[in-house]
Chains A and B, each alone.
Chain A
């Protein structure tokens, strides 16, 4: 499955690139996250209990960051595995400066889905991925704005752990709202978004 798109961030590229740092915060930010460890400089592994509507399962995800050219582009490879099946994917993300200190993101992803996930979840795979990615990026953008404004006002952005329902509704919002942390972590966040996309997809074949 191909995922492709563009997104305009309301902040300068450096900040977009910088608002992501520390994995530990993310672990607490993502409900259901049971473990999240940094295996090597560019490799992260996580386990999370994901629930979307009635569908749930323990998913283990692995993210590898490669070819990164700060603050411009990088490639990420995602692998997720759970009882309902597996997901393998590669994503390329490019950030380029846009007018009035905004940032244009281009992303291309190719996702391979297998198992029950693939065989009964087709009815709306496309629309789920579209909408969840958009939600994720919107939320990240909000976090960006928060970061920018708080930088100006000096206020700290508080993080309030979301309910899983809110979480499922707008995955990355919660991540972003304080995973104002390590770059790698956001990509793990993105990986998780992908995993969740896949899980959501599963429900859709059912009526």
Chain B
């Protein structure tokens, strides 16, 4: 299991990187953390002719607050940095909660926030969370910069809006509305395995302690993040009760998803897990919404 040969390019700025990407087009592959790409190369399933290493571009690594009370994260910011960052914990606690679930410590030392999103693995926590939080992605090309909403970004299995001569440079996460609670629940066989099913949920309460809005995003149930629309609609403007959550979870598991079967879990078992995790996620999110001071 040794990787095939490739030409190695080590730019020190985004612009320099874009020059090389434009020059080599599909023959080139940006190398972020490499924690998904390099195993594929070791298996010789990926054989890029050129690797453009993004690990020496300081401007891609940052965590910044924005005026609206949200924050923006540079694509090459490593998981462990995000995991232990206080600003993230304060402004995007859902992200902090997800971090320990992403692979292992050793992978999080190297893996990057943007790399995980651009790889668009349907089982990736950050893919689902960026949708749950209405994240916006900034793509840079030589032609210029464009912004895309997370919910429009993921085209399918491992496929995103990013063109070969473009780079995902920044992820903006807006603040959660007031009185919003969050939760991430997932089931995996071993701590570092891909989740059999995962759920990211946000619950926002109105003044009358009713659910103003609920956002449920499921992962590992299709070829990308799946928003449980029907379950969300059912919760809209309703008083939060155990029974309501059960009903919503039931709908999420039966109507919002059409999960596939694989060697680890049948479609039926996944539906079951969707129901269980959705209910649990809603309950946790509700508690946090009630605790939230603002």
A residues lining the B interface (CB < 8 Å): 51-57, 83-84, 116, 120, 122-128, 130-132, 135, 163-165, 168-170, 200, 202-204, 206-207
| Closest residue on chain A to residue B48 by CB atoms | A54
Cα-based distance from A52 to B163 in the complex (angstroms): 12
B235-294 at interface with A (beta carbon < 8 Å) = 258-264, 267
Tell me whether A120 and B123 are in contact in the complex, defined as CB-CB below 8 angstroms, given that A135-B156, A169-B159 are known contacts: no
Given A54-B36, A127-B223, 19 new contacts (CB under 8 A): A53-B158, A54-B37, A55-B45, A56-B48, A116-B45, A122-B263, A127-B260, A128-B223, A130-B260, A131-B157, A135-B156, A163-B164, A165-B160, A165-B161, A169-B156, A170-B156, A203-B158, A206-B40, A207-B39
Interface size class of B (residues with CB under 8 A): 35 or more
Q: Which 5 A-B pairs have the closest CB atoms?
A: A127-B260, A126-B260, A53-B158, A169-B155, A54-B46
Tell me whether A124 and B157 are in contact in the complex, defined as CB-CB below 8 angstroms, given that A131-B223, A206-B39 are known contacts: yes
Inside 8 A of A83's CB, which chain B residues have their CB? 44
B150-179 at interface with A (beta carbon < 8 Å) = 155-164
Inside 8 A of B225's CB, which chain A residues have their CB? none
Whether B222 pairs with A131 at a CB distance below 8 angstroms is: yes
B residues lining the A interface (CB < 8 Å): 26, 29, 35-37, 39-40, 43-48, 103, 119-123, 155-164, 194, 222-223, 258-264, 267
Inside 8 A of B37's CB, which chain A residues have their CB? 54
Whether B162 pairs with A165 at a CB distance below 8 angstroms is: yes
Main SS of the interface on chain A?
Answer: helix
In the assembled complex, how far is the CB of residue B19 from the closest CB belonging to chain A, in whole angstroms?
19
Cα-based distance from A133 to B164 in the complex (angstroms): 24
Inside 8 A of B163's CB, which chain A residues have their CB? 163, 165
Whether B159 pairs with A53 at a CB distance below 8 angstroms is: yes
| Closest residue on chain B to residue A128 by CB atoms | B157
Whether A84 pairs with B26 at a CB distance below 8 angstroms is: no
Cα-based distance from A53 to B163 in the complex (angstroms): 11
Whether B45 pairs with A120 at a CB distance below 8 angstroms is: yes
Inside 8 A of B122's CB, which chain A residues have their CB? 124, 127, 204
Residue from A122, A165, A200, A207 within 8 A of B262 (CB atoms)? A122
In the assembled complex, how far is the CB of residue B257 from the closest CB belonging to chain A, in whole angstroms?
11
Inside 8 A of A123's CB, which chain B residues have their CB? 123, 194, 262-264
Cα-based distance from A200 to B159 in the complex (angstroms): 10
Cα-based distance from A135 to B164 in the complex (angstroms): 22
A/B interface sample: 17 pairs, CB < 8 A: A51-B26, A54-B37, A54-B158, A57-B47, A116-B45, A123-B263, A125-B262, A127-B262, A128-B223, A165-B159, A165-B161, A170-B156, A202-B45, A203-B45, A204-B157, A207-B121, A207-B194
Inside 8 A of A164's CB, which chain B residues have their CB? 26, 164
